[in-house]
């Protein structure tokens, strides 16, 4: 389990199949990296380099995030992406 | 439905035909991406990295936005662009 | 009509002929984009990302603005340029 | 007449002849743009993007300014350069 | 022993074998630099260029950090990487 | 005479001969621009873009300054370099 | 003797031999510039462009510093490097 620092958020990629079922497909060509993921862990936010950051996403939120943002890691066979909250564009409801 | 975070705004592209009816055409050559869209969802604004951002657009506003700004996604067959409010140049009235 | 957001200003290009009559010609070679325009709409200014911006130009001001600044759009056959006030260098009186 | 906005300053290039008489020549090779000019108009300064700027040059000051700084325009046959005060390095006395 | 300054953190690379046992493998191809390390020393944080930085990692934390971040040094045969705390993405628990 | 604005400092290059006498030679190859100079004029400092700058060098200080910093000008046959105080690394005593 | 300004620190390179004795060798290939040095002079710190900087190294500290940081100069046959304190990563104890 990864506990993100500061304003970081750990995301788990949504499988392509799951993406299709929910009707969400990226507009760009299908070879590009999908940008929809589920939040699995949220950093504490707080005072980050002198600026107050309030975390606005929570576990299990399905989110859209900025292409090329974040760092990918694998843990126990699962792929995760760690992004800053500011790289998250919106929550899908 | 996408609920934008922070100062993000979800835009739906205005169809080319609709653009023409309203008399709005981009000055640049016609192969460039149109920059007129309708606001479909507005983030909460508020304190963003220590700066107070007040949202000044609202749903259904027809807006002009900066070329190359934002991230495109498709949801249930519709194309959207998510931009920061600061990428919106003006509202067409 | 475009209502600019924040510190944006909508400019209408001054026709070349009009530019010549008023004696204003750009120093650079004549193929470059002219940089003199008339203000047609002014954003509200105010608190923009935590900084207070007071608008100092008004409708009908003839202004000089920074080359390459702004975004061009066409509305009802007229060409406009939307710039930030900080891209406006001075007012011609 | 150009009335500069904010912390802008309008400069009129000093003729090469005049430059020579006053003994001022740029160290770089003579094909480079001269960097000595006379102040013809000074912006109001004041609060600029949240920072207080006090104007420290005045009309008729002969100043040295940073190479490549500013925007050149011609007005009624005279060449001017509009720079930010921070591009002015010093006043020649 | 290296005592890091400011918001710096000294990391000791986790051996590949150890990485595998704990089930952590980077998603990217195996030739890339591993990004998992153990914290061996933590700077004092405090007021850093006018911003208050609170250190949130401690000795023996196993952390994920941003690729390409930090400076590698060898001390008494051990390899270390010195990063800023802001280059640490999360703690593995 | 040049009166520097803000946090600018006017430097007069130390002649190579003089440099050698005082035992100061740049480590880099001898074709590089020497970086030792004498202060001939100091700007007033004060509030510069919202930040208080206190001038810490004075006339006749012999200083080391950052390579490539500053603008060179010639006045009455003497070569000067105008730098920001922050480009001055130290005073030689 | 060089008295550094502001948050600058004067470093004297540690000889390769000395480096080896203390067991410190850079991880990168041996042709790269060593990054271990001894502090010979420390600037006063204080308010630097509106930010309070407290100096945390002292004379005779052996420090690790960021590759490519600083400016090299020779004084009386000795080589020095002048860096900002923020380029110093840690103190070796």
Residue-wise DSSP of G45-80: -EEETTEEE-----TT-EEEE-TT-SEEEEETTEEE
Within 8 A of A44 by CB-CB distance, chain E residues are 56
Average pLDDT taken over every residue of chain B: 81
Q: Which of C53, C85, C91 minimises the CB distance to D3?
A: C91
Within 8 A of C77 by CB-CB distance, chain B residues are 23
Whether E5 and chain A come into contact, CB under 8 Å, resolves to no
| Ranges of residues in chain G whose predicted pLDDT is under 70 | 15-34
Q: Residue C31: CB partners within 8 Å, gap ≥ 6?
A: none
Q: Which of C2, C4, C73 minimises the CB distance to B26?
A: C73
Q: Quote the minimal CA–CA distance from A92 to chain E in Å.
A: 24
Within 8 A of D1 by CB-CB distance, chain C residues are 92-93
Best E9, E23, E27 residue to mutate vs chain A (most A CBs within 10 Å): E27
User: Does ipTM exceed 0.90?
Assistant: no
Q: Is the pLDDT of residue B31 over 60?
A: no
Percent of chain A's residues with pLDDT above 90: 48
Query: What's the confidence (pLDDT) of residue B52?
Result: 85
DSSP SS3 for B87: helix
- Taking an 8 Å cut-off on Cβ atoms, the answer to whether G89 and E82 are in contact is yes
Percent of chain F's residues with pLDDT above 90: 47
Whether E78 and chain G come into contact, CB under 8 Å, resolves to no
Q: Is the pLDDT of residue A41 over 70?
A: yes
- Note whether C60 and C38 are within 8 A (CB): yes
Percent of chain E's residues with pLDDT above 70: 78
Q: Is the pLDDT of residue C85 over 80?
A: yes
Q: Which of A51-65, D2-16, F65-79 has the highest mean pLDDT?
A: A51-65
| Res. E58 pLDDT band, cuts 50 70 90 | very high
For chains A and E, what is the number of CB pairs under 8 angstroms? 65
Query: What's the confidence (pLDDT) of residue F76?
Result: 74
Within 8 A of D2 by CB-CB distance, chain C residues are 64, 89-93
Q: Which residue of C has its CA nearest to D82?
A: C89
Domains in chain B (CATH in brackets) are: 8-92 (2.30.33.40)
Which has more pLDDT, G53 or A28? G53
Calculate mean pLDDT across residues D24-42: 66
Query: What's the confidence (pLDDT) of residue E73?
Result: 85
Q: Phi and psi at residue D45, in whole multiples of 5°?
A: 65, -145
With b for 16 or more beta-carbon neighbours within 10 A and e for fewer, the C52-72 pattern comes to ebebbbeeebbbbbbbebbbb
- Note whether C86 and D1 are within 8 A (CB): no
| Res. A83 pLDDT band, cuts 50 70 90 | very high
- Taking an 8 Å cut-off on Cβ atoms, the answer to whether B5 and A66 are in contact is no
Whether G68 and chain F come into contact, CB under 8 Å, resolves to no
* From A50-59, B68-77, E62-71, the region with the lowest mean pLDDT: B68-77
Whether D69 and chain F come into contact, CB under 8 Å, resolves to no
Cα gap G14→G27, rounded to integer Å? 16
Q: Is the pLDDT of residue F38 over 60?
A: yes
Cα gap C9→D3, rounded to integer Å? 17
Cut 0.95: pTM above it: no
Is the alpha carbon torsion for A52, A57, A59, A65 positive or negative?
A: negative
* SS3 letters across chain D: CEEECCCEEEEEECCHHHHHHCCEECCCCCCCCCCEEEEEEECCCEEECCEEECCCCCCCCEEEECCCCCEEEEECCEEEEEEEHHHEEEEEC
pLDDT digits (tens, 9 = 90+) for C30-83: 344 557 899 999 999 998 888 889 999 999 999 999 877 888 887 777 889 999
Average pLDDT taken over every residue of chain E: 81
Q: Is the pLDDT of residue F20 over 50?
A: no
């Amino acid at each position: 389990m990864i506990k993100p620092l500061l304003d970081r958020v750990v995301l788990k990629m949504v499988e392509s199949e799951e993406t299709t079922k929910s009707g969400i497909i990226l507009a760009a060509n299908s070879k590009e990296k999908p940008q929809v993921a589920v939040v699995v862990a949220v950093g504490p936010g707080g005072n980050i380099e002198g600026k107050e950051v309030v975390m606005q996403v929570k576990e299990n939120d399905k989110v859209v995030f900025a292409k090329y943002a974040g760092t990918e890691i694998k843990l126990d066979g699962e792929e995760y992406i760690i992004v800053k909250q500011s790289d998250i564009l919106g929550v899908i409801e």
